[in-house]
Structure 1
Amino acid sequence: MKEIELKEIDEKVYTETLDNGLSVYMLVNEKVNNFYMTLSVKYGSVDTEFKGENDSSYTKVHNGVAHFLEHVNFNEGEGKTAHEFFNNLGSSINAFTTYDFTLYEVFASNEFEKNLNHLLDYVQTPYFTEDLIKKEKGIILEEVKMGKNNPSYKLYYGMNNALFKNDNRRYPVTGDIQDVSDTTVSELQSVYDTFYHPQNMILCITGNFNPYEAMGIIKENQSKKKFKKYKNPVRKVIEEPEKVVSEYEEIEANVEIPKVKICYKMKQDSFGEIDEKVLGIYLSIILRNNFGATSMLKEELLEKELVVGIGATRDIFNGIVTLEINVETKYPQEVIPIIQEQMRNLKLTKEDLKRRIRCNIAALINDFDDIEYMNTEIVDQLITYGKVYDDMYDIYSNLNMQDAKRIMRKINLSNSSIVMLLPFKDNKE
C-alpha cells in the first residue's frame, strides 16, 4: 500500500490498486468517531453512447439509464434491499448520479467491517427483473415529474439547453418521462456489464479506522468474487461548438421574484497551457472577488435593494469553460447590464489575491476535519483529473497577479446566454 504525502498539510492518503483493478483511497481522521465510505463508478448520465474496446459499433442507451441503474442497484433479491441491511446496522446510506459518475455512500460509526463488505457486495451484485424494473419506473417517473415542476430545475436545464448544442448536459440526469418509460432490462444489463467492473470503480474511505485492517477486509472480499473481463469502454466523443444555442430565453415558473442566469461559454484552450485545476482556481477567485459574498458589487446591489441575492460559478469539461452569474432580482432589466459591465471590467488587486489565497489555504487545512467533504474532494479529483493532488498548498501559494491578469484578459465574452425565470402570467401555475 502506497502513501500520498500531502505537502505542508501533515496528512496522507493511503492508496492501492487491487489485482482486479479496484482503486482504493483512504484518509484517516482520528479526531472523529465515525467513517464515510463511497464506492464510485465512472459512469454518468452523459455516457449514452459507448462500446467495448474490441467492439465495432457503439451501443446507444436512453438518457437517464445511469440514474435508473443507481435506483435498481439497491434491490438484492428475495424482496430484500440494501436499505434494510444498513438500517439494521444503524448506518445511513444513499446514492446519487452526476453527469460523470455514480456514487454509493455509507455513513456510520460502528460495524466497520459489515458496512464495508456490504457496500462492495450490493453494488457488485446486480439483480434485474422485469417486475423490478416496472416497479422502479413508477418511482423514477414521479421523481422526474416533481423535478420538471421545480423552478430551479427549469432554470438550470433552461440554461443548459441555451448553452449546449450537442453535449448531453442539456438533458436531465434522470432522463425525461419518455426515456424512463422506454428503458429496458437489456439496457441496464448492458451498462452494468460494461461499466460496473472493479477496474472502473473507486473505493474511498475517510474517518476513524485502521487503513491496514480496511485493506485486508477489501482484499478478502474481492478475492471471493469473479468478474467478467473488463471491456475497457470507449465513450463516443461529442464535439461541442463554442457558440451558444440561444442568447436569450424566458421561462415561466411558480416564483415570486425573477431569477436570472447569465452565462459565458468559451474554449478551454483559449487560456493557453495551464493545468485545468489551476485554471479553475483562478476563475473561481476572479468570480468570487467580483460577484461573491464579500464583493463590492454585491454590497452595492443589496444596498440599493436591486437584488435579493447574487453569486457566480464556473465549470470546465471536455474543452469547454462556462462562467455563470446567478441573480435573484425584481429588476432584471436594470441588473443585467450592471452584471455585463462588471464582466467587461473584472477587478482583482494584488491585495485581493493575497486575501483569497489566505482564505483558500485556511480552508484547505480546516477541511480535513470534515470527512464527507474530504471524501468528495478525493473522488472529484480522481474522476476529473485522474489523480490526487499532493501539492494543493503549493498551488495556492504560487498563484500570482501576472497569471491572474492574463486569465482575465483571455475570458471571452462574445458567446453568452441569458435565461430568465419569471413568475407565471396572471399568477397561473
Structure 2
Amino acid sequence: MTEPFDAVDVIAAKRDGRELDTARIRWLVDAFTRGAVADEQMSAWAMAVLLNGMDRREIRDLTLAMIDSGERMTFTGLPKPTVDKHSTGGVGDKITLPLAPLVAAFDVAVPQLSGRGLGHTGGTLDKLESIPGWRADLAPDALRTQLADVGAAICAAGADLAPADKRLYALRDTTGTVEAIPLIASSIMSKKIAEGTAALVLDVKFGSGAFLPQRGRAEELARTMVELGGDAGVATVALLTDMSVPLGLTAGNAIEVEESVEVLAGGGPADVRELTVALAREMLTLAGRPDADVEAALDDGRAMDRWRRMIRAQGGDPEAPLPVARESHQVLADRDGVLVEQDARAVGVAAWRLGAGRARQGDPVQHGAGVRLHAKPGDPVRAGQPLATLLTDDADRIPRAVEALAGAHRIAASGSQVPERPLIAARIA
C-alpha cells in the first residue's frame, strides 16, 4: 500500500509549529495503529505536540481518529439513562468506589470503565481486586446485563476500545510526553466517547499529588475535555479539585476499599464524602435526576446495598476479610503543635514504594500495602504521636518509604492557623 503522506513531513510540520489538517491527523493515527508509522516516529510527533501544542480543531480531529481506530460501545435500549465519571487521578482517590453504587441507587446506569495505577497514583481496578473473587473483565453483554440489573459496573476497558490511544499512551509514558494537554485530553475523551455513555462528569485535579500540579494547566485540560465532550454530543461537566493533600486517611488498595465502605455506611472522612456527594449530584443532574437526595442514600443503606450487589455480580464477596499487610512501621511527630502541611505526592510515592503501586505496566501490586494517615492539616498533634502507619508485606521496602515521607508533614506552633483550601475549586461546563 502506498501511503498518502510521509511521517517525517507530518512530524516536521508540528515541530515547526504548523497546524495539521484533518486528513493528516487521521492518516497518522491510522498508520500508527497499522504499524506503518514507527514507535520512534510517533514519539517524535508526541514531543512536538508537547512543545508546540494543538488547536481545538486539531485536538478534536485527533480524538475522533483515536475513537475510529477501534469499536464503539452503545447502551441504546438500556431502560435507564447512562452517566460516567472520570478522575485524572491522585493520592487516596477512591471516589469511584462509593460513587458508582450511590448514583446507581437512583435508577441510573454507571458504566465505569477504569484503569490500573502507575507510579504514585493508585488504580481503581487494583483497589477492587483486593476483594476476594472480584474480577475486572466483563464481556460487553455481561456489562449491559449488569447495568440493567444492578445499575453500576466498574470494569476494565476492552482492548478494542480506542486501541490507538493504548499504544500512544505507552509511548508517552516512556518518552516524557505525558503532560501534553492535547494528548491527555484526546486520550481520556476518546475512551469515554467510544464507551457510549450519554453524559460524563470529570474530576480534574491540581496540586502536588496531581500529574498536572499547576491549577492553570489543570483548568486548561478541564475546559478542553468539556469542549470535546460537547462536540461529540456527550453532556460533559468538570469539577476542578485540590489534590495538595491526600483524599481521606488511606492511600493503598485494600485500605482504600475499607475506607470506601465506611463512606457507603454513612461515615468515612469528611473530604471523601464531600467529593462523592458533589460528583453524584453532578452526575444525577446530567442524568435527569436533579432532585435526588444523595446524602440520604448514603445514610439509609441504599448505596451500600448497590455496592454489595455490584461486587457480587463481578464474582466478589463483599463480606470477606480484606488482605492485611504483614509488616508495619509508624512515622511519629517530632514536636507538639498543629499539622499545617501534608504533601500528597510524598504520601503517594511512599505507598508506591511500599508495594501498593507499580513502576511498569504489568507489575504485580501488594493488596495490603499502603499508608494509613492519622492526622490531617489543621489537627493538633503531640510529640511521639503517629502521623502515619506504613504497611507492606516486605520490610525491606520500609526505609525508602520513610525517606519519601521526609518533610511531607510540617508542624507549626500550637494555635497556628491553616489557610482554608476548598476541596472543589471550580465547576466548568
Q: Which has the higher strand share?
A: 1
Mark yes or no: TM-score above 0.5: no
| Higher Cα Rg, which structure | 1
Relative to the length of structure 2, the TM-score reads: 0.24
Relative to the length of structure 1, the TM-score reads: 0.24
| Larger relative contact order (CA 8 Å, sep ≥ 6) | 1
